[in-house]
Amino acid sequence: MAESRLGVLGPDRHPQDREARSGSAVGDAEGIWPLTASGRNPRLTARDLCMSLTYIKARITNPANPRKSADLEFLVDSGAEYSVVPTGVLKRLGIKPRTKRTFILADGSTVERKMGHALFRLNGNEGASPLILGQKDDSTLLGVVSLEALGLILDPLKRELRSLPMVLGASPRPDVQHAKNQNVFVPNTVDDDVLTHRKAPQAMAEVVAATTEC
């Protein structure tokens, strides 16, 4: 089986983790969602900052039955490929496992987990994503795949969720596009110098001649 990195597993590392789970995400005009302990934005110590900028609230929904959804507090983990949601929650939503995969833990050991699919919603963003059915003591994680499905990316330095730039496809090179606009056949093997007109003008004529012969 293919192996992936699961990320953080196990119970909360600190008692304060539960208090930090009151965190919320607030969008703004710049597409930045600071992960804060509360909406009041109090002054935080370095220790409090580390804890409070960890969790975020998001909603998961059964794709087959949109009326079944649940709001959860996730640990945003950029080191985890997939999100982890407690199996009990997924059962209540009617989300069933579809496959199994083997994952590598931080200590190098491996575990096998069942996987399913769900819709994730966060601050008006929505995206479908595979997820792991979490077992007892597994942390509830929001992984990279789900973040990308939501069009978000984690800034690891500022601990903020930012809008992920969306690229539909690579734009053609201007010189290639110009040749196509002139109905000139441009084979993949044509030398770059020909396309950039660095060689003699007859080089482009040779390309046109080759097209005529075809």
pLDDT tens sequence across 171-187 = 555 555 555 555 555 44
Which among 118, 46, 42 is positioned nearest to 85, based on CA atoms? Answer: 118
Start-end of CATH 2.40.70.10 domains in the chain: 3-163
> 46 vs 99, which has greater pLDDT?
99
pLDDT of residue 25: 36
> 77 vs 88, which has greater pLDDT?
88
Q: In CATH, which superfamily holds the domain spanning 3-163?
A: Acid Proteases (2.40.70.10)
pLDDT of residue 38: 36
Strand partners, 57: 73
Contact in structure between 57 and 72 (CB atoms under 8 Å): yes
Q: CA-to-CA distance for 70 and 110, rounded, in angstroms?
A: 29
Q: Is the pLDDT score of 15 beyond 70? A: no
**Mean pLDDT, to the nearest integer, of 11-21?**
39
Q: How high is the mean pLDDT of the chain?
A: 71
Helices (H), the chain: 17-20, 46-52, 87-93, 144-149, 174-181, 192-195, 202-213
**Which tokens in the block code for residue 126?**
């929505």
Contact in structure between 143 and 154 (CB atoms under 8 Å): no
Which among 48, 130, 108, 47 is positioned nearest to 36, based on CA atoms? Answer: 48
pLDDT of residue 36: 39
CA dist 63 to 32, 60, 91, 93, 130, Å?
A: 27, 9, 13, 10, 11
Q: Is the pLDDT score of 10 beyond 70? A: no
Contact in structure between 89 and 68 (CB atoms under 8 Å): no
> 74 vs 213, which has greater pLDDT?
74
Burial of 208 per CB tally in 10 Å (0-12, 13-18, 19+): middle
What is the DSSP annotation of 50-74?
Answer: HHHTSEEEEEEEETTEEEEEEEEEE
**Which has the minimum average pLDDT: 23-27, 124-128, 152-156, 178-182?**
23-27
Question: 84: which DSSP letter?
Answer: E
Q: CA-to-CA distance for 49 and 204, rounded, in angstroms?
A: 62
Which among 44, 45, 51, 49 is positioned nearest to 14, based on CA atoms? Answer: 51
pLDDT tens sequence across 23-60 = 333 344 445 444 433 333 334 344 444 444 468 999 99
Residue 212 confidence class, pLDDT cut points 50, 70, 90: very low
pLDDT of residue 175: 57
The most confident of 37-46, 108-117, 151-160, 192-201, by mean pLDDT? 108-117
pLDDT of residue 134: 95
pLDDT of residue 102: 93
**Which tokens in the block code for residue 25?**
């995400």
> 8 vs 162, which has greater pLDDT?
162
> 107 vs 192, which has greater pLDDT?
107
pLDDT of residue 16: 41
